Every structure is written in C-alpha cells, then in structure tokens.
Amino acid sequence: MVMGASGSKLEKALGDQFPEGERYFGLENFGNTCYCNSVLQALYFCIPFREQLLEYYANNKTPGDVEENLLTCLADLFMQISQAKKKTGVIAPKRFVQRVKKQNELFRSYMHQDAHEFLNFLLNELVDILEKESSAAKDSPQSSSPEKAPNGPVQPLANGVKKEPPVTLVHKNFQGILTNETRCLRCETVTARDETFLDLSVDIEQNSSITSCLKNFCSTETLNAEDKFFCDKCCSLQEAQKRMKIKKAPHILVIHLKRFKYIEQLGRYKKLSYRVVFPMELKLSNTSDDVDTEYSLFAVVVHVGSGPNHGHYVSLVKSHNHWLFFDDENVEMVEEQTLQTFFGSSHEYSGNTDHGYILFYEGLGGKS
C-alpha cells in the first residue's frame, strides 16, 4: 500500500532540485522494525547495489516458478519505491518484514534488534540465494536465463583447497579481502592467511576518528608470554607479531562502530557514546594496489538511545548532493553539517544519545 499524503513538504523543500527519476519514500514501522528500515534505506541509496539488484531481478524473474525468498522480497520493495508514481510518500514493507521473521527466529520477537546483525544476516542471506541460483543455472544448461560470466579475474584465495564460490552482485559491491600476517620474531617467517569481509567492525575510543580506529584495526599486536605463536619452521612456541592488512578494498566500504560492549561486572551490554568523528571522504591503503582507494560517505545508520535493547534507528542518506534524514515514515532534508551531531558525546553523561553506528562509503571510480 502506497500512501502519498506525507512528504509534500519535502518536495517543496527540494523544488527544482528534485532529482530526475528519484523517489524518497519513508518506511512504515511495524513495531521495533526501525533496525530494518534504517538499513533498507541505506542499501536503497547504495546506487550500484540497487541497480544491480533490480537488473538481476528483472532478468531472472519468471512468473510462477521462482520461490519467494528474501531476495525477491527485497527486490520487490526496491521496485515498489523506484517505480512509484509519486515522488514522495510512505511504503509499508510488510512482505519483506514477514519474510525476515520467517527465516530467522532471532528477528521474530517484537524486541529491539541490532541493525548490524540484521545487515549481516541480510547480505549473507542474499549471497546464499544468489549462489544457489548460480549453481542451479550451471547444473541446467537448458535454462532460459544463462548465467553471466563474472566481471574481471576471480581473486584466488591463499589456500587453494576451498572451492571457489561464484562472484555475486553482493560480493562485487561489498566484499573486500583482509590479510592476517603473523611474523615469527625468531626466524622472521611471515605466515599470511586471507579472509574476506563484507563489512569492517572496528573498536572505538573516546574522542577519536574513523581514521585512527581503522589504523588501530590494522595495528601490530605482539604475541608473547602466555600467548606465544607456534611457528611451523621453528617447531616451537615463539614470540611473534600479528597484524591485519587490507589486501583488496571493497567498492562499498561498510564500517560498523562497535558501540555495544559487554560489561562483565554488569552481565549485560553497555552502549559506548564515544565521540568518533567521520569525514565525508576517506582513503584506504591496500597492499595489492599501488594507489589508495578513495571513498565518499553516502549513508549513516544512527542509533538513538542509551542502550542496546531499547532505542531507535534512523538513517541519513546522501542523494544527488543533498542529505536526507529517514526516520521510519518521516523523510526530510538536512544540511551536511547536521551529520556532525551524530559523532557522539565527549562526556559519558551527556544528554545526546544519537550516535553514528554503521557508515557506508562508496568508492570513487578513479584512484588517486
């Protein structure tokens, strides 16, 4: 059901600058489904992902013979938004929410859920569906929709034992590769193990920046004392240095700020309201390329509230050089400077409880 009453204010605010062919629709809340709505808005305004998903759905959709799954529900929802007659309004993502609850009992209750868990679940579920459909297409060569060849060379993994999965549109957009390097300090042997990721979860510190959090993520850790490393060459436990490097940077960099920390004494999670600034542009060095990958911020999922089990999620999204604020059904335009209010608090007992939680950066085409 498409309701078009609200949102006319937004059209007036944008006026002539309303982008051609774009739609700005709020999503209805069915009771603590803001974790779902905020992530959906961020993914919808990830333009490459949206376009590739809709294209894939249009090419592979055959009426009647495709079973409904999370991918079809997501694509239907995206199509509902992008093909709406009105430019603004509210859409009820009922079918999608029901599908989510059906497939994952974690989201069945009406309790508040974690947006990052939902994002991870959604992306991995899409990967499973796409890989199954890709395998099915390979097994039946008479299929009317031939599988497209993946673009570019497939990244060979360090261990050749594992079967090579096909590159889905989720991997094309979100997947990066990390290298875990361990150097034995006795024989100087470096052991490397590759690991793929769809998003990066980084620890945060008070009054820091995303730049320094990413640096800490890739910083060197020493293994010594009771935490020594067993070196295959030395055939014994030795002191070692361990570090993480980004081997391949993703096209869409998703950064999850670990704002929920388990406190042993209390036996529950506590929210870290730390002030962590994030810039509109970012760069990542990676080991396989000679140049640094440049990124531009296009979406922020914001957690509102003082704890993990009660609160609210909203999202801020950049669309055609202006920023929009999505609070479930409500959509309004905001100034870029407004994003600074979601950096966090310098003081633990500040009244401000709106904190940036998941950051979405899109890689710029050229590399500097």
Under the rule (CB under 8 A), what is the footprint of another protein? 205-209, 211-212, 215, 272, 274-275, 277, 279-283, 285, 291-292, 294, 346-348, 350-352, 364-368
Active-site pick, 34, 46, 73, 231? 34
Smallest gap from residue 255 Cβ to another protein (A) = 15
For another protein, the closer of residues 119 and 204 by Cβ is 204
Q: CA 223 from chain center: how many Å? A: 31
Active-site pick, 171, 251, 303, 312? 312
Q: Residue 181, class by beta-carbon neighbours within 10 Å (0-12 exposed, 13-18 middle, 19+ buried)?
A: middle
- Sequence-distant (6+) residues with CB within 8 A of 239 are 184, 185, 186, 222, 223, 224, 228, 229
For another protein, the closer of residues 160 and 351 by Cβ is 351
For another protein, the closer of residues 78 and 361 by Cβ is 361
For another protein, the closer of residues 121 and 295 by Cβ is 295
For another protein, the closer of residues 65 and 348 by Cβ is 348
Q: CA 175 from chain center: how many Å? A: 10
Smallest gap from residue 265 Cβ to another protein (A) = 13
Euclidean distance between CA atoms 69 and 126, whole angstroms: 9
Please report, as a single letter, which amino acid is at residue 272.
L
123 closest CA partner among 164, 81, 173: 173
For residue 234, indicate whether it is catalytic: no
Euclidean distance between CA atoms 133 and 135, whole angstroms: 5
SS3 label, residue 206: coil
Length of the chain: 368
| Both tokens assigned to 262 | 């388990």
Smallest gap from residue 263 Cβ to another protein (A) = 10
Helix runs in the chain, H state only: 8-14, 34-44, 47-60, 70-82, 94-103, 115-139, 169-174, 210-217
Smallest gap from residue 31 Cβ to another protein (A) = 31
Phi first, then psi: give them for residue 50, nearest 5 degrees.
-60, -50
Smallest gap from residue 220 Cβ to another protein (A) = 10
The CA R_g of the chain, rounded to the nearest whole Å, is 22
For another protein, the closer of residues 147 and 205 by Cβ is 205
Smallest gap from residue 110 Cβ to another protein (A) = 33
For residue 320, indicate whether it is catalytic: no
For another protein, the closer of residues 37 and 319 by Cβ is 319
- What is the spatial order of strands in the sheet that 190-197 belongs to? 190-197, 176-184, 240-248, 221-223
Euclidean distance between CA atoms 338 and 1, whole angstroms: 32
Smallest gap from residue 278 Cβ to another protein (A) = 9
- Sequence-distant (6+) residues with CB within 8 A of 15 are none
Report whether 214 contacts 278 (CB < 8 A): no
The catalytic site residues sit at 34, 312
